[in-house]
């Protein structure tokens, strides 16, 4: 064999391996994230960004910090806020849940003490699915949600995110 043929035969497997690696790049690049204040930890499917804004939780004005990542038009987010006391934090949870349901026009078919959501509605004319959990720890409230096009996000990805959340 000619040296150029041998070199070509050596390079072809390297190129094929490189092409396979590029093709295997996962959409979900899971990573541990701990909030800046160290109050929660969760696995996010991409690098999260953080934004804070004032929200109304059934008459209670709070600064809510949202930490979120987006993959294939699906948002994975943890929202946190501080209430004046533990009782008002607990009372804010149904308001958080109801506000999210209203955002997608989904009915609220649960009791007021339900601290989870699994609903389908619509956002900008597109069927949307919302999965989430709500919790209070002391005077802190948390919402852990996944919102995206209905039927598009694999349930195991939703479950991985929701079950990874831990508050401290």
Show me where the domains of the chain are located: 27-167
pLDDT at residue 15, as a whole number: 43
What is this structure's pTM? 0.82
pLDDT over 90 at 106, yes or no: yes
Residue 21's pLDDT band (cuts 50, 70, 90):
very low
- CA atoms of 168 and 149, how far apart (whole Å): 31
CATH fold of 27-167, please? Protein Transport Mog1p; Chain A (3.40.1000)
Q: Which residues pair with 52 in a beta bridge?
A: 65
The arithmetic mean of pLDDT across residues 129-144, rounded, is 97
Mean pLDDT over each residue of the chain, to the nearest integer: 87
Question: Across residues 65-92, what is the average pLDDT?
Answer: 96
């Amino acid at each position: 064999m000619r040296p150029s043929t041998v070199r070509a035969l050596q390079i072809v497997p390297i190129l094929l391996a490189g092409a396979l690696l590029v093709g295997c790049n996962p959409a979900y690049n899971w990573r541990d994230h701990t909030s800046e204040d160290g109050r929660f930890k969760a696995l996010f499917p991409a690098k999260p960004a953080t934004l804070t804004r004032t929200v109304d939780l059934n008459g209670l004005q709070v600064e809510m910090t949202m930490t979120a990542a987006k993959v294939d038009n699906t948002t994975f987010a943890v929202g946190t806020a501080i209430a004046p006391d533990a009782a008002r934090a607990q009372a804010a949870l149904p308001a958080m849940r109801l506000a999210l349901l209203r955002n997608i026009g989904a009915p609220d078919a649960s009791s007021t003490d339900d601290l989870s959501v699994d609903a389908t509605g619509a956002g900008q004319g597109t069927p949307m699915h919302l999965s989430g959990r709500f919790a209070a720890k002391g005077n802190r409230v948390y919402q852990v949600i996944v919102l995206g096009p209905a039927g598009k996000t694999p349930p195991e990805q939703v479950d991985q995110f929701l079950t990874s959340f831990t508050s401290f």
